[in-house]
Amino acid sequence: MSGAVRTAPAPRTAIPREASVTAVLLLLLTVMAIWAPGFFEPQPLLSRLTAAAPRLIVACGIAVVMLTRQIDISVGSLFALCSVAAGLCAARGMPPALAFGVAVALGGAGGALNGFLVAGLRLPSIVVTLATMVTWREALRLARQGVFINLPDGIQWFGLSMASGQWMVCGTALLVLVGMAWGLRHLAVGRHLYAVGSDAEAARLAGLNPRRLTFGALVLLGALTGLAAVLNLVQSPQVDPATGRSLELEAIAAAVVGGIAVSGGRGSLWGVFAGFLLLTCIGPALTYLGVKPYWDRAIQGLVILLAILAEGLRRRRNRP
């Protein structure tokens, strides 16, 4: 036979979401450096990052759950439940380390309950976690009636100075981020989570257990929520039973903006970190630039919408 063999054109390489989000973040920081250099004053900057650090930990956990094509919208209520439990334990004389351990264990138990209902009984995760979200929040409202819990000495900032405590909170959040990012990239369980999110049936045929991996992801998110509650608890002399409201939306937003696919199986925690920093910086940046604060949520919502549109366009372009 004669004639040239016709080949399909090579697919266009899309810019990774992590790179695009990082570029937007760097652009924002450059604008702040030029127009409002006070944004980078060390102590206020450290305080803002410290206050946001618990949200980064929850966002990492949410990202792992989303990789398996699930969702958990109960983390805000579970965060409050863990905070109140640890606060009550500390107020009644329990050593701080044990009180903190109670928060992490209770978070893991809450994640296990969600995991049993979602992975064990195969119920929709959005319905299950909506139910547990309302249950934990209403239980706290009835039990505490809005009464704050006064914490004993030695709890705030882990008994350290404020500056040392802030560095410990931020360092713990970064350690969790680095450890989880390394695990997703280099450990077999990380590759298995991506496989389950990409195609659960194919993963099962390859010898994996999608239900066990989904259960483990939800338990991990619960434990991380308990840890985040601890890092938030030490920043105040009191515990607010209503704490954690909108935490689930902020964590999911950071994951989505950072490139975690809602359809599962794609994204990285470094992208989540970039998305977290971008969303965290928007509000304070507007304040420093003299923009009215109510634009904060509007701009964050626009950023999230653009991220979802970008994901939709990517999926359409890759569709055969």
Report the relative pairing of strands 149-150 and 238-239 from DSSP bridges.
Answer: antiparallel
CA angle 71, 203, 60 (to 5 degrees): 35
End-to-end CA distance of the chain: 30
Measured in residues, the chain has a length of 320
Task: Give the residue extent of every domain in the chain.
Answer: 40-244
CA 241, 246, 249, 250 dihedral sign is negative
pLDDT tens, the chain, 320 aa long: 444 434 334 344 455 677 888 898 999 999 999 998 989 999 999 999 999 999 999 999 999 999 999 999 999 999 999 999 999 999 999 999 999 999 999 999 999 999 999 999 999 999 999 999 999 999 999 998 889 999 998 899 998 999 999 999 999 999 999 999 999 999 999 999 999 999 999 999 999 999 999 999 999 999 999 999 999 999 999 999 999 988 998 999 999 998 898 888 888 999 999 999 999 998 888 888 888 777 777 777 787 787 778 767 776 776 65
Can you give the pLDDT at residue 296? 73
Which residues, 6+ apart, have CB-to-CB distance to 181 below 8 Å? 268, 269, 270
Can you give the pLDDT at residue 315? 67
| Contact assessment for residue 136 and residue 247, using Cβ atoms and an 8 Å cutoff | no
In terms of Cα–Cα distance, which of 320, 267, 291 is closest to 69?
A: 267
Can you give the pLDDT at residue 15? 59
For the entire predicted model, the pTM comes to 0.91
